Amino acid sequence: MNSLKWYILLFSFVLGTHAQATTVTVGGDTVKVGEVATMTCSYTLVTGDALTQLAWFRAEDDGSTVGANPLVSLVETTNGRYSLSNDKDLMISAVKVNDAGNYLCRIVTQNVQIADNYDQLIVQYVLEPFLKPEEGLSIMINGTATFTCTSLDGIPTPITITWIKDNVILDVSDMQKYPSSDATLTINKVVETDEGVYQCRAGNAAYSGNEGKLSNNVTLKLVLDTTTEPTKTTNDGSKSSSNRLGSGAIAAIAICVSLVALGLACYITWYSYSNGKLCFEKTSTEINEGPSEVIGLTNDDGATYAQVQKPAKPKEPKKTDNAPAKPKRAETNNTKKPDANVELTYVEVDHSHSGTGNKIIRTEPETEYSSVQPSSKR
């Protein structure tokens, strides 16, 4: 009986000693980006012992501290965004995404008892998504448009996508019109009413509705087919046919052709008038009867003439009918004296030429002229 009492007393002593061991309990927290996080720390000391130090550290998943220096302690209660509350709890202001992780509370007593524990801080967030193609879309009528919402990340998951058009939530319930509307939006048979500015909004359980993050703006434009007249829906639901680009292009081409033709006609008229000829006047046949020499020019009756000497033909036997001789033109100071063995021929020359290179267009050998001007040889 005495032995039994002894064992009972010994067992009670062991249990009492274990119950008096120093212990630490840490409570984690879950907050959104920008909020204030509070990590709690509570401890139990052995009877007769007292607390001498308390400090907070970042910790790895196995409970080891990250670095040797604490974030805050009873010695230094404030450190930037970190502070010690109630001499034991850790507070983190303006929480950031990278604040998520493990935090460890450690205490030291007068009897040099060391105890610690850790828990996790969860930071909820949603990253701002990015909508592609960034440069926008230009789609022909009845074509297919595709937008992709990228850079989807956040806690908690899953990430939900809402599609926005012109700052209004897009109804994508029509599966034939919008066969895909998750991270990729597909629009079938694009019409004018599909034109506008598109965005995607990312959200999760913590960031729902307007708390979600909006993407960049991407514009969808409709390009009409110039070879056809597409049907478009009017405000009253009726359909009308239009070909804005086609008709405009045709009208522009027609105007350009007309202007070119008008300019050409004006140039021909001016050129012909400045040279004394009508636009479509038929000229006389050019003379190419062997070599000749221009010995004088004259302007008379609105035309330009040249005095030309040509080699004389062999003299014919004199006629016996005493026919009168051909009249001879009196020489003037401005007229070059012809050679003895040539005869004079007067011809009209092209108004667009003078001097060297005159083009002979008509001969009138019996016509008399005045004020013959000298000219260089052809």
Domains and CATH numbers, the chain: 22-125 (2.60.40.10), 130-227 (2.60.40.10), 243-282 (no CATH), 284-316+323-378 (no CATH)
- Residues 254-302: pLDDT tens digits? 776 777 777 776 566 556 556 554 444 444 434 444 444 444 555 544 4
The pLDDT of 22-32, averaged and rounded, is 97
pLDDT above 50 for 76: yes
Output 173 or 240, whichever has higher pLDDT.
173
- Structure confidence at residue 241 (pLDDT): 42
Least confident of 40-49, 151-160, 206-215, 236-245: 236-245
pLDDT for 240 beyond 70 = no
Taking the C-alpha atoms of residue 378 and residue 375, their distance in angstroms, rounded to an integer, is 9
The CA distance from 142 to 313, in Å, is 87
Residue 376 has pLDDT above 50, yes or no: no
C-alpha distance from residue 264 to each of 277, 278, 359 (Å): 17, 15, 25
Q: Check if the beta carbon of residue 325 is closer than 8 Å to that of residue 369.
A: no
Asked if pLDDT for residue 15 goes beyond 70, the answer is no
Q: Extract the tokens encoding 71.
A: 């974030």
Calculate mean pLDDT across residues 305-326: 51
User: Whose CA is closest to 309, among 289, 332, 324?
Assistant: 289
Mean pLDDT of 330-356: 48
Residue 129 has pLDDT above 70, yes or no: yes
Question: Does 50 score more than 50 pLDDT?
Answer: yes
CA 305: distance to chain centroid?
68
pLDDT digits (tens, 9 = 90+) for 133-184: 999 999 999 999 999 999 999 999 999 999 999 999 999 999 999 999 999 9
